Chains A and B, each alone.
Chain A
């Protein structure tokens, strides 16, 4: 499982990095990005799902790798 962030949809609501700082960082525009390559351990999946639900722009998705 991998978490993917779509910069074209992200407008910087900042919910991902506020709620799940272990998976997301914030850039100088206040937009989010995935820390590392997005590969999730089994324990991280729930946190990633939290970010998916939190993003008002639906910019975060989970994909099978």
Chain B
């Protein structure tokens, strides 16, 4: 997920998120629950963010993602209700748990294969060896595209994601444009092919809609493009955080092996603490007031989800399995609630189960310290180097 706003945003860009995200969330919380810096407004409390989530007619997404410079409409993230609701009624059933669950054996097989490839080596770099491969395979599976295209797909999507959100310019760079064109060409080929020979996948289901519900090729491309931006490196990021936190907490690794149910709680807590998409953008369509602060029409607004996730918690900045069931805002809220949240949670669960089954107790490679790059698009650790003893009994 790339957050998008016309730079410069020195206040946002100077947030100290590289080493310890808790320090970064403190930085955003310190000025208050609603405030203005460098012309942009920041909402940091649960109440303020809920207000924005509940009022998409004021806090619009339509212009908020403009500087991505996407040549196709970003469906549904940059669309406002009521049209956005119509898209979601069509799309939600394709990402509901009852669709994800039957995919589980195949997704488990894929992640096991990925982990088996490095298990005997006694070391891995999480992003390169696992975090980027797995979500891409999952999206290809969901869309009924061949897994053999994975590496090409990763190349294009990395080129697109790499540059977006980091550039001040609202235009895509040359390299980004080229990658996008290659990806569009590939996707267009598939759309044509699927229109002719529908499969049993979600892309075929969208293409099969007819009459008033029918989607144009441009709409389908926009949707696919958003999946590349929203559904790949967000999961990569979440995987990097999960493995990092487990690497520094061998006690948690042991506890999950003893009590597998604990895995889901640790995943929720890592999601609460470490957000791949920590600031979501909106643009106000009218004058408004949030928690007593007036915001004028036309204001760029950031919902600082990471700050709100620590509010009113007994242990705000650390994994707290006792309170892991309490809701958090990592997947957003309101009408734009992450459409891939069920899929993302399932990917993380299967990844964790297979990793712990195949790899003995692991730790960070000596002398390495994972850091986040900021400012940037998706907030993720740049690399996480793990080591384990290959001689150890499993």
> What residues make up the interface of A, taking CB atoms closer than 8 Å to B?
11-15, 17-19, 26-31, 50, 53-58
Given A29-B92, A30-B342, CB of A11 within 8 Å of CB of B325: no
Contacts of B327 in A (CB 8 A): 13, 15, 53-56
Provide the main secondary structure of the chain B interface. Answer: helix
Contact B333 A30 (CB under 8 A): no
Cα A19 to Cα B334 with chains together (Å): 20
In the bound complex, residues from chain B placing their C-beta under 8 Å from that of A27 are 96
Indicate if B179 sits at the interface (CB-CB under 8 A).
Answer: no
A30 touching B325 by the CB < 8 A rule? Answer: no
| Docked-complex contact A56 and B333, CB < 8 angstroms | yes
* B96 CB contacts on chain A under 8 angstroms: 12, 26-30
A57:B333 contact, CB within 8 angstroms: yes
Q: Which A residues are in CB contact (< 8 Å) with B329?
A: 56
Residue contact B98 to A26, C-beta cutoff 8 Å: yes
| Set B97, B334, B335, B337: member contacting A26, Cβ < 8 A | B97
Check if B97 sits within 8 Å of A14, measured CB to CB: yes
- For B, the interface residue count at a CB cutoff of 8 angstroms equals 20
- Shortest CB distance B311–A (Å): 13
Secondary structure dominating the interface of A: loop
Write the chain B residue with the least CB distance to A55. B327
How many A-B contacts at CB < 8 Å in the complex?
57
Distance to closest chain A CB from B386 (angstroms)? 29
Looking at the assembled complex, report how far the CB atom of A27 sits from the nearest CB atom of chain B, in whole angstroms. Answer: 8
Q: Would you call B342 and A14 a contact (CB within 8 A)?
A: yes
The answer to whether B95 and A30 touch across the interface, beta carbons within 8 angstroms, is yes
Other than the given A14-B97, A29-B89, A30-B95, 13 more pairs (CB < 8 A) read A11-B334, A11-B335, A13-B327, A13-B331, A17-B97, A28-B98, A30-B93, A30-B97, A30-B342, A54-B326, A56-B327, A57-B334, A58-B50
The digit string for B334-378, where 1 denotes a CB below 8 A from any CB of A, is 110100011000000000000000000000000000000000000
| B93 pairs with A13, CB closer than 8 A | no
A63–B199 Cα distance when bound, in Å, is: 47
| CB-based closest 10 A-B pairs | A30-B96, A56-B327, A11-B337, A29-B92, A28-B93, A53-B326, A54-B325, A54-B327, A56-B333, A26-B97
- Complex Cα gap A54–B331 (Å): 13
Which of B89, B335, B337 contacts A13, CB < 8 Å? B337
- 1/0 per position for B75-110, CB-CB distance to A under 8 A? 000000000000001001101111000000000000
